[in-house]
Amino acid sequence: MNIILLGPPGAGKGTQAGILVKQRGMLQLSTGDMLRAARSSGTEMGQRVAGVMDRGELVTDEIVIGLIDEALDGARGGGGVIFDGFPRTLAQADALAGLLTRKGLSLDAVIELRVDDDALVDRITGRFSCGDCGAVYHDRTRPTQVDGVCDSCGSTNLKRRADDTEESLRQRLMEYYKKTSPLVGYYHAHGQLAVVNGLAPMAEVEAAISAALKPALQTAGDS
């Protein structure tokens, strides 16, 4: 089963993807994580996208489609793929459909995590994550059990993203509404969209996603 998690920055895509990875053995493909990895390893592409990311704008379709194309080749078998933060434009959505068809894969569900903008400032400014295993935390809603130590892997390498500021969030939200939110209508028109209340507590969001995936699981299992 291959699915997309759709929603603005801070909606909870990475958090819920992490749960699906643990529970269902799915593979999380986050273009944001891939781009940050390219930056920190200092590749030519990483250097090229750094300024764009720092400004909270979208990097080119060509770059992220290339990343997903490559990542999908290593993603055969297992519990399927979670697209997290991709697609973010209609061109990316069309390219994803083409890639999946070419590789003999299906898109089984698109989950929109619907949230109010008001909640996002707190979500984004309180976010930190483990630099080693990627577990996502929040100062107030999901602190680590032991201060400074990752619950999942025990690492003390906890980090905050440079772009997780109120100012950058404003720009990233603008990009979301201009370029990404049309995908809600796009996937609704394709009969693939399920809307989940992303403002609910994490466990409730998890349960709602599970319920929304049931029909897709059935279809994927039948095919």
22 is known as an active-site residue:
no
**Phi and psi, residue 220, nearest 5°:** -65, -35
88 is known as an active-site residue:
yes
Q: Active site residue: 13, 140, 178, 179, which one?
A: 13
Q: Active site residue: 39, 123, 172, 179, which one?
A: 172
13 is known as an active-site residue:
yes
CB 44: neighbour CB atoms within 10 A?
A: 7
State the first-to-last Cα distance of the chain, in angstroms, to the nearest integer. Answer: 10
**Binding-site string for ligand AMP from residue 43 to residue 82, where x marks contact by CB under 6 A and - marks none:** ---------xx--xxxx----x------------------
The residue among 18 and 56 lying less far from ligand AMP, judged by its C-beta, is: 56
**What is the spatial distance between Cα 2 and Cα 108, in angstroms, rounded to a whole number?**
5
- Least separation in angstroms between residue 120's CB and ligand ADP is 8
178 is known as an active-site residue:
no
Its sign, for the CA torsion 34, 35, 38, 41, is negative
The residue among 57 and 94 lying less far from ligand AMP, judged by its C-beta, is: 57
- Least separation in angstroms between residue 51's CB and ligand AMP is 10
Residues 6+ apart with CB under 8 A from 44: none
Give the closest residue to 21 by CA, choosing from 206, 211, 183. 206
- Would you give the DSSP letter of residue 119? H
Q: Residue 88, interface with ligand AMP (CB under 6 A)?
A: yes
Task: Point out which residues bind ligand AMP (CB under 6 A).
Answer: 9, 31-32, 35, 52-53, 56-59, 64, 85-86, 88, 92, 172
| Residue positions annotated with a catalytic role | 13, 88, 127, 161, 172
